[in-house]
Structure formats: structure tokens, C-alpha cells
Amino acid sequence: MTDKKRIAVVIGSTRPTRICGGVAAWARDSLQEDSDLDYELIDLADIALPFLDEPLKAALEQYEHEHTLTWSKLVQSYHGFFFVFPQYNWGYPGVLKNALDYLYREWHNRPASLLTYGTRGGNKAAEQFITVLHGLKMRVLDTHVEAVITEQDVDDAWQLRDLEGTLRPNRALLRKIDEEMTEALTDSQ
Ligand SMILES: Cc1cc2nc3c(=O)[nH]c(=O)nc-3n(C[C@H](O)[C@H](O)[C@H](O)COP(=O)(O)O)c2cc1C
């Protein structure tokens, strides 16, 4: 048992051939380096929530389904969140919005940042997602990452040829995010 503050690094694509797992694992390792926080991967593919099926809105906190209670407990067990996801058609993956919409108060006041990726870094997805994080009253950190992954970086099956080499330019920003996350959680004491 550790008394370190726990940060969930959320894998936000559930496609069977996704690159998100590798990108998120790399981000987790970069955040974790020399950090006093404990960064843990959580995979929305494992959590496997159905499309939102609660009869009442989450703000009322009268959950009917076991999967919602399990998700609520898991989210409450983390002090902060780092979301990793691709840009899809100028937006962010629906599975991620679904997972957010299941809960409400659980997200409040939690520090949050994100890493998007796409051929131009996924800036449109990042912008929309940040708006939603504000709607959920999360404490959005100053820094986030928009990682550029172009056709030159991937093979014919759209898998990264050199994950470390492609993502390395973003490492300094991840170190900054760890600093901001640490500061946000220290402030909240
Ligand atoms: C439904 C869909 C929409 C996409 N839209 C965009 C886009 O708007 N901008 C972009 O740069 N790449 C786009 N792409 C390419 C993705 O960046 C690329 O497929 C990436 O590998 C997706 O992440 P994932 O493999 O982790 O799911 C799209 C891919 C999919 C599957």
C-alpha cells in the first residue's frame, strides 16, 4: 500500500488495432520518471461500459447499474487524471465522452491534463475535450500535449515504426505536466 497520490492515465481509444495503448504507456513512463506521484494506466476497453444506460443523470448520484458503481469507485480512487486519445474526425473518441458522462461529482476538482495525437497533433480534439473537462468542473492544468504522428511515422498497418523516436519531442511537456499535477495536489491539502 502506498500513500502516494494516484493519477490515472486513461487509454482513450478502444479500437482493436489502436496505437493508443503504446502511446499511453510511453506517456505514463515519462510522467512517472522522478515523480512523487503514482501514475497508473486504465484502459477503457477493459472497463467496457455500455452506452450510457442510467435512468437518472449522474449529478443525482442514484446509480442503478453495478457497472456505474464500479466505475464511480474506480474514478474516486484517483486524485488526478491524464487522458490519452487520438483525434477522430476533428473530435475526440465517443467512448471517452461516454465514460465521462456516466459520472459527475466524481470528476469535480480533480486536476486533469491530456495528450492528443493526430497528423497535426489533434488540436481540435484537445480543444473540445478541454471544454468538457471545464463542464465537469475539473481543474485543467496549464499544459497539455498535442503529439504529431504523421504517415511517415507509421507502417502499412498504421502502427508506429519507432514509438520512442516519434514521441520523444513531447517528453519535456510531460515533465512539466507532472510538476503542475504535483503542485495542484499539494495545493489541495
Ligand atoms: C474514425 C477515425 C477518424 C480519424 N480522424 C482523424 C482526424 O480528424 N485527424 C487526424 O489527424 N487523424 C485522424 N484519424 C487517424 C488517427 O489519428 C489514427 O488512425 C490513429 O492511429 C488513431 O488512434 P488509435 O489507433 O489509437 O485509435 C482518424 C482515425 C479514425 C479511426
Cell numbers at residue 33, please?
520518471
Q: Ligand 1 centre from 23 Cα, in Å?
A: 13
Spatial distance between the Cα atoms of 155 and 77, rounded to a whole number of angstroms: 38
User: Percentage of the chain with pLDDT > 70?
Assistant: 97
Say if CB 133 and CB 85 are below 8 A apart. Answer: no
Residue 132: pLDDT band with limits 50, 70, 90: very high
* Mean pLDDT to the nearest integer, 112-124: 98
pLDDT of residue 149: 98
Q: Report pLDDT digits (tens) over 66-83.
A: 999 999 999 999 999 999
Bridge partners, residue 83, by sequence: 10, 114
**Does the pLDDT of residue 188 top 90, yes or no?**
no
Spatial distance between the Cα atoms of 160 and 53, rounded to a whole number of angstroms: 36
User: Could you tell me whether strands 139-140 and 145-148 are parallel, antiparallel, or unpaired per DSSP bridges?
Assistant: unpaired
Q: Tell whether ligand 1 has an atom less than 6 A from the beta carbon of residue 144.
A: no
Q: Tell whether ligand 1 has an atom less than 6 A from the beta carbon of residue 19.
A: yes
Residue 3: pLDDT band with limits 50, 70, 90: confident
Would you report the helix, strand and coil content of the chain in percent, each value rounded to 5? 45, 20, 35
Q: Could you state, in order of their start, the residue ranges of all structural domains in the chain?
A: 6-187
Find out if CATH 3.10.20.30 is the number for domain 6-187: no
Give pTM, 2 decimals.
0.97
> In the 8-state DSSP scheme, what is residue 133?
H
